[in-house]
Amino acid sequence: MPRPSSRRELEIVGAIAAALNSSPTVQQALERTLQLVTDLLGLQTGWVWLVDSETEHIYSAAAQNLPPYLQEPVRMTGGWCWCIEQFRNGSLTPSNVDVMECTRLRPAVRARQTDLTRNIAHHASVPLSFQGKPLGIMNITAPSMRRLTADELRLLGTIGLQVGVAIERARLAEEMAARARSEERTRLAREIHDTMAQDLTALALQIETALRSVGRDPDRVRERLEKALTTARASLDEVRQSVTNLRARTLAGKPLPQAIASFVRQFTSETGIRVTLDMDDGCELKPDTEGELYRIAQQALINVRQHARARQAHVELRCAKRSVTLTVADDGVGFDPRKTGRDRHGIKGMRERARLAGGTLRISSGLGAGTRIAVKVKR
């Protein structure tokens, strides 16, 4: 490929910037970027590794036109490979990697399974970073046997910096939103404690004093005062419980969508099964209900890992006015739900958790048709 003109480079960089700015999530931004990079530069295949900022696991975050060999989840776990090693030790620069250096593709080449690799001979590895902070890797391949030119690598390096800025911006926005939610819960907890709790405490003390001073009042007055005292104490207990719920939410203080996303990143890193997420924010639920939904999502993905032989899965969280629905679907081998054996403790556990949350769980599946698990709970 001849050296692209400066104007052409600016057009490509501008198109990538527009895609990054208009995409609502990091995953969608990466998928759109890979599509644009491969189309605009006449390339073929791409995939992106990202580092989970919480666990340091590396996971497959996006892919474009993977060859059949790399579509197998076992090939795309976040385990060791040459480019990840170079990235980890800080020495990765935009460069071509020979297929025999790529531990993911080398077994297929040695077995002469080039039909499964689409004859990929090289891939370019480009680090993604922000102000020196390593964020991930973008791998790109050219058609046939062509190596990427120095100009292409330089341009991909510039795009990598753009992607790094977008990733860090999205993460900072997520952290700020989580911090704002935490601060709001603390403010509400303090407000409840400083107003309602103190008022109810004073009310209980006043009624206790009145009861001790009753001498000639009829029994009816005493009965009413005792009931008022019982009500006041019950209200005080409720306020204390509210304060506890606001200060110490389940899921390590994370809202449900963020907790599920964190587990999904770890799951993808360990299994290579890419999981897409589509989740509404602001699904306010009781802490216990959030915990049950999180465990159901966890168990559903564990089942995907152990039984489904799936290549990808999808998790969706939808908030309606009176209900919340969590769905986990995969493209695996499926099964007949009517013939679920007694040893399928995972399904049994998910049903029990849905029931504890006051909801219902439905399983849709068929041999060769994948599986879809949906749980619906009241808000």
Hey, where are the domains in the chain?
6-174, 178-251, 252-378
What would the CATH number be for the domain defined by 252-378?
Answer: 3.30.565.10
Say how far apart CA 373 and CA 361 lie, in whole Å.
7
User: What is the C-alpha end-to-end distance of the chain, expressed in Å?
Assistant: 57
Q: Region 274-289: what's the mean pLDDT?
A: 88
Selected residue with higher pLDDT from 37 and 345? 37
pLDDT band at 165 (very low <50, low <70, confident <90, very high): very high
Give yes or no for residue 245 having a pLDDT over 70.
Answer: no
pLDDT of residue 148: 92
pLDDT band at 4 (very low <50, low <70, confident <90, very high): very low
For β-strands 323-330 and 371-378, DSSP reports them as antiparallel
CATH 3.40.50.720 fits 6-174, yes or no: no
Q: Which residue has the tokens 């509400």?
A: 188
For β-strands 274-279 and 312-319, DSSP reports them as parallel
pLDDT band at 243 (very low <50, low <70, confident <90, very high): low
Complete DSSP assignment for 239-264: HHHHHHHHHS-TGGG--HHHHHHHHH
Selected residue with higher pLDDT from 146 and 305? 305
Say how far apart CA 256 and CA 242 lie, in whole Å.
18
Q: What is the pTM of this model?
A: 0.79
pLDDT band at 252 (very low <50, low <70, confident <90, very high): low
- Secondary structure E strands in the chain: 45-51, 58-64, 95-98, 122-130, 133-141, 274-279, 312-319, 323-330, 360-365, 371-378
For 240, counting Cβ atoms within 10 Å of its Cβ (0-12 exposed, 13-18 middle, 19+ buried), the class is middle
pLDDT of residue 3: 47
Tokens encoding 350: 């998910």
Give yes or no for residue 122 having a pLDDT over 80.
Answer: yes
For 205, counting Cβ atoms within 10 Å of its Cβ (0-12 exposed, 13-18 middle, 19+ buried), the class is exposed
pLDDT tens by residue, 24-83:
788 888 999 999 999 988 898 999 999 998 899 999 999 999 999 999 999 999 999 999
